[in-house]
Chain A
């Protein structure tokens, strides 16, 4: 897979369903009938991954929410997004 960068546009995989329950993401992978409970950060990223806004636009939002500098945030977010993509939860959207 091409490495993600700030211009990458992501969306939840087509068989993924998720909701936020009390700051945690309940993620269902339909294909495997699997339920995952993930952190609030994952929940946040899933909500931001709308298939339209690039990761850079997520950072604009997240930098307001987390007290951390943009560079660190970008590194962490890209790393986490890549992990989610690896697990088949996020996928790169066609543009």
Chain B
């Protein structure tokens, strides 16, 4: 059996496989378009509660555990939590802005947590653009220097980026920069509203031309490299789409947890389905009626996306983003359509051919 088939099984049979935990909303950068809902309040999860959660996730055979934030390293017990996650046998990913990944912290992260992957954020190919987005002067130079340091330590790193109207002219520069480090880069062409629905981040959404240029660039490079053409799509842990009767694994194979123990179907879908102060993850997973509804919605989303025919696979539609944008997780929003059109233009027949092997 292939890994894709395993993933398909997790989606179909609601086997929890990937969990993203936002440890804190503290952050040492101040990205303009950050999606965190900073006004959210509640009782933070204690370290003991995290330990219990991790143990239960291990018992549920969850493989992927992503530690995110805010800046996860800013959680006072980050290393302790990471070490416990390692001990419990998770494939640990760290989503960090990279700003504090140096010196003793970097070394201890490698030795004590041994993450499968560190995903750092790049905001441009120049200091002016990167620092404009992070709103911390010097953050670009720091990131480059820290990348060299963690790579020297032998850690595995991936670069994430979000295309905005501020950095869209630097897309090629960002790809080159990633190449110069020998790192994989994923540029997400979608800026999302904040988790509380605030649309301010959309003011830096990329232009249609910017999205078009990015896709054309990615298609050209992929063809040159003879590589697999992949556009950001699928689970947050970087796994490939697993064709099944659901549009995505939100709430079926994956969940997200915020610093207050609220559980969501996905990091992008902020519909609370339970709270870990009051229920165990197992109870939420099997008992939450909200979660059951979410699973039905993802099946509904699949039918809607399929309605677009072969173009549907280019929609890269996110029910969570739709819910935040429109209040309806099934409403196809204009940015998704734009992406579909631009993807088709850029990747055209090439992409269709390459996608075939992983379609059912």
Q: Touching in the complex, A and B, CB below 8 A? A: yes
A→B interface (CB under 8 Å): 14-15, 17-22, 24, 26, 28, 30, 33, 35, 37
The answer to the question of B180 belonging to the interface, with a C-beta cut-off of 8 Å to chain A, is: no
How many interface contacts (CB-CB < 8 Å) are there between A and B? 47
17 further A-B pairs in the complex, CB-CB below 8 A; given A26-B6, A33-B117, A37-B6: A14-B114, A15-B114, A17-B89, A17-B90, A17-B116, A19-B17, A19-B61, A19-B89, A21-B6, A21-B15, A22-B15, A24-B6, A28-B91, A30-B156, A35-B3, A37-B1, A37-B5
The 5 A-B pairs at the shortest CB distance, nearest first, are namely A19-B63, A19-B61, A17-B91, A35-B3, A30-B116
State whether A33 and B62 are in contact (beta carbons under 8 Å apart), knowing that A19-B89, A26-B3 are contacts in the complex.
no
- State whether B6 touches A17 (Cβ < 8 A): no
- State whether A21 touches B61 (Cβ < 8 A): yes
Chain B positions 49 through 63: 1 when the CB is less than 8 Å from some CB of chain A, otherwise 0: 000000000000111
State whether A22 and B156 are in contact (beta carbons under 8 Å apart), knowing that A17-B116, A35-B3 are contacts in the complex.
no
State whether A21 and B156 are in contact (beta carbons under 8 Å apart), knowing that A28-B91, A28-B116 are contacts in the complex.
no
A37–B6 alpha-carbon span in the complex (Å): 8
A26–B114 alpha-carbon span in the complex (Å): 19
The answer to the question of B9 belonging to the interface, with a C-beta cut-off of 8 Å to chain A, is: yes
Closest to A21 in B: B6
Closest to B88 in A: A17
A17–B114 alpha-carbon span in the complex (Å): 11
Main secondary structure of the interface of B (DSSP, over half): loop
Residues of A within 8 A of B61 (CB): 19-21
Most-contacted residue by chain B among A24, A26, A35 (CB, 10 A): A26
Q: Would you give the shortest CB distance from B287 to chain A, in whole angstroms?
A: 21
Q: Would you give the shortest CB distance from B196 to chain A, in whole angstroms?
A: 34
- State whether B63 touches A37 (Cβ < 8 A): no
Closest to B158 in A: A33
22 contacts between A and B (CB under 8 A): A17-B63, A17-B116, A18-B63, A19-B62, A19-B63, A20-B61, A21-B6, A21-B61, A22-B9, A22-B15, A24-B6, A26-B3, A30-B114, A30-B156, A33-B116, A33-B117, A33-B156, A35-B3, A37-B1, A37-B2, A37-B3, A37-B6
Q: Would you give the shortest CB distance from A39 to chain B, in whole angstroms?
A: 9
Closest to A43 in B: B61
Interface residues of B in 75-109 (CB under 8 A from A): 89-91
